[in-house]
């Protein structure tokens, strides 16, 4: 059987050591109402495109699935983060819950509004669609507007707010693997995931962009020639209306550097491109060999002269190394971001321990007094105690049922063994009784004379 081909250029092999540190996510829908919402279903698919490549893109939920089913499978699959979209049956509000497995915490956001990727593409002049190569690496995460330090340490509310934002920032930072500047290639980063917080309203906006890098040092026509070396099927610029080659380079008739006019100055950066310049081989300097210096080695056995030995001076050797060394040339490139969606606007609601079941650490709209918090903690401890007792009782019942089942099985095996032993004894008794009846019949005919039947076969007298 032929061996299956493995892609090595586009599918980079990840080492087991590196794979352990890579966070993986799962984007799901929870609840009967959310499963029947077609728009929410498309939002989940678009959000999975953001979390690629370390996410379950083709995951399909069923109406019978519960949150516990997904939490149980997070351990074997190595999933570290859960994104849960839910919709309220009463109000119809959509919520996004971000949970860290397996012990939490869970952050609940209310989705104020959202736009799908297909809706954003309708309003763009040049929409961008992602390809397989664009999602081979996770996007670049950009956080803006979050304050993790309190301005006034004496103010308890500001300290609490700073601690809450610190947990939110830590949660967002860990959804993607960290970048290693010494190992990562800049050209491999194709997308940007920006999370911005408005300080006045407190709303968090999520945007997903595609990074497009363009040359700005060359004109529009030269850019076509520059790109034609990689794609020979593209048509070259039309030179019919050009009077001079300078008009092609400078574009006098249509405006110089038309590509720069479409790009803002803030987006232009200088990039050092390292290229290996190939030059012609330097002429070799021959040794001058005089007649007196010629020896026997310079003449073949046939009498023909050998070619003079070519050598390079130290200066030529140095020039040769410099000619083959890589040359860094500064180039101006413009970076353009094209939004590809989806677009979400979130509002923080609450933060709790565990995965959607635990003590509420922070609530945005509900505030409790110290006495209420103590009463809730007491009620929670009582609830956990009853739950632990019920769990132990269930384990004891299961052990009791298992023991009774094993005893019943043992009794059944003993009866089966006794029945087999009884059947074996019955067969032995039957065989012994059969042998005794045969010997008795033989003893009955021992006293009968041998010629008892002689009269029966005697000849009839005539």
| String of DSSP letters for 201-240 | T--EEEEEEEEEEEE-SS-HHHHHHHHHTT-TTSPPPP-T
Q: Name the pTM for this structure.
A: 0.66
pLDDT at 257: 37
| Contacts of residue 91, Cβ cutoff 8 Å, sequence gap at least 6 | none
Q: Which residues of 283-293 are buried (b: 16+ CB within 10 A; e: fewer)?
A: eeeeeeeeeee
State yes or no: pLDDT of 428 exceeds 80. no
Q: What is the tens place of the pLDDT at every residue in 281-314?
A: 555 555 454 444 444 444 444 444 444 444 545 5
Terminal-to-terminal C-alpha distance of the chain: 98
State yes or no: pLDDT of 276 exceeds 60. no
Average pLDDT over residues 252-276: 50
pLDDT at 173: 92
121 and 49 in contact (C-beta within 8 Å)? Answer: no
State yes or no: pLDDT of 455 exceeds 80. no
Rounded Cα distance between 330 and 271, Å, is: 6
State yes or no: pLDDT of 327 exceeds 70. no
Kindly report the average pLDDT of the chain as a whole number. Answer: 77
Q: Which segment, 16-20, 31-35, 133-137, is predicted with the most confidence on average?
A: 133-137
Residue 314 zone, left/alpha/beta (φ > 0; ψ -120 to 50; rest): alpha
Q: What is the tens place of the pLDDT at every residue in 178-189?
A: 888 788 887 888
pLDDT at 240: 73
Between 58 and 446, name the one with better pLDDT.
Answer: 58
Query: Could you tell me the pLDDT band of residue 14, with boundaries at 50, 70 and 90?
Result: low
Q: Which helix (H) or strand (E) holds 286?
A: strand 285-286
- CA dist 356 to 68, 83, 359, Å? 10, 12, 9
Q: What sign results for the dihedral spanned by CA atoms 187, 191, 197, 201?
A: positive
Between 90 and 19, name the one with better pLDDT.
Answer: 90
Average pLDDT over residues 67-83: 91
Query: Could you tell me the pLDDT band of residue 415, with boundaries at 50, 70 and 90?
Result: very high
Query: Could you tell me the pLDDT band of residue 220, with boundaries at 50, 70 and 90?
Result: low
My answer on whether omega of the bond before 102 falls inside 30° of 0, hence cis, is yes
């Amino acid at each position: 059987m032929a061996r299956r081909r493995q892609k090595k250029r586009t599918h980079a092999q990840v080492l087991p050591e590196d794979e352990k540190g890579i966070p993986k996510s799962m984007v799901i829908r929870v609840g009967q109402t959310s499963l029947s919402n077609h728009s929410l279903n498309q939002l989940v698919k678009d959000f999975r495109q953001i979390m690629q490549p370390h996410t379950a893109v083709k995951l399909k939920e069923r109406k019978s699935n519960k949150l516990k089913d997904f939490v149980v499978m997070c351990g074997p699959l190595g999933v570290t983060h859960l994104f849960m979209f839910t919709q309220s049956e009463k109000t119809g509000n959509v919520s996004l819950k971000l949970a860290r497995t397996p012990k939490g915490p869970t952050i609940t956001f209310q989705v104020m509004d959202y736009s799908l990727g297909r809706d954003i593409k309708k309003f763009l002049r040049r929409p961008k669609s992602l390809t397989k190569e664009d999602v081979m690496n996770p996007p670049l995460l950009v956080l803006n507007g979050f304050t993790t330090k309190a301005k006034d340490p004496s103010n308890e509310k500001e300290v609490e707010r700073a601690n809450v934002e610190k947990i939110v920032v830590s949660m967002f930072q860990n959804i993607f693997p960290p970048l290693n500047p010494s190992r990562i290639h800049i050209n491999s980063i194709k997308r940007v995931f920006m999370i911005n917080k408005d300080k006045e309203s407190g709303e968090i906006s999520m945007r997903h962009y595609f990074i497009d890098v363009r040359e700005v040092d060359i004109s529009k026509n030269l850019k076509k020639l520059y790109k034609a070396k990689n794609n020979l099927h593209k048509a070259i610029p039309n030179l019919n209306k050009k009077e001079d080659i300078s008009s092609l380079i400078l574009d006098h008739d249509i405006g110089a550097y038309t590509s720069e006019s479409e790009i803002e100055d803030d987006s232009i950066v200088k990039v050092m491109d390292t290229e290996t310049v190939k030059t012609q081989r330097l002429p070799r300097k021959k040794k001058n060999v005089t007649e007196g210096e010629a020896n026997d080695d310079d003449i073949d056995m046939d009498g023909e002269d050998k070619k003079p030995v070519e050598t390079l001076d130290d200066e030529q050797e140095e020039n040769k190394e410099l000619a083959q060394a890589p040359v860094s040339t500064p180039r101006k490139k413009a970076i353009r971001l094209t939004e590809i969606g989806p677009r979400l606007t979130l509002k923080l609601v609450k933060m709790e321990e565990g995965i959607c079941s635990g003590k509420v650490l922070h609530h945005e709209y509900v505030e409790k007094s110290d006495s209420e918090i103590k009463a809730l903690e007491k009620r929670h401890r009582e609830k956990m105690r009853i739950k632990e007792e019920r769990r132990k009782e269930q384990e004891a019942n299961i052990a009791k049922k298992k023991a009774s089942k094993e005893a019943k099985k043992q009794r059944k095996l003993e009866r089966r063994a006794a029945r087999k032993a009884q059947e074996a004894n019955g067969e032995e008794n039957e065989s012994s009784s059969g042998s005794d009846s045969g010997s008795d019949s033989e003893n009955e005919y021992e006293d009968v004379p041998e010629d008892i039947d002689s009269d029966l076969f005697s000849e009839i007298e005539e």
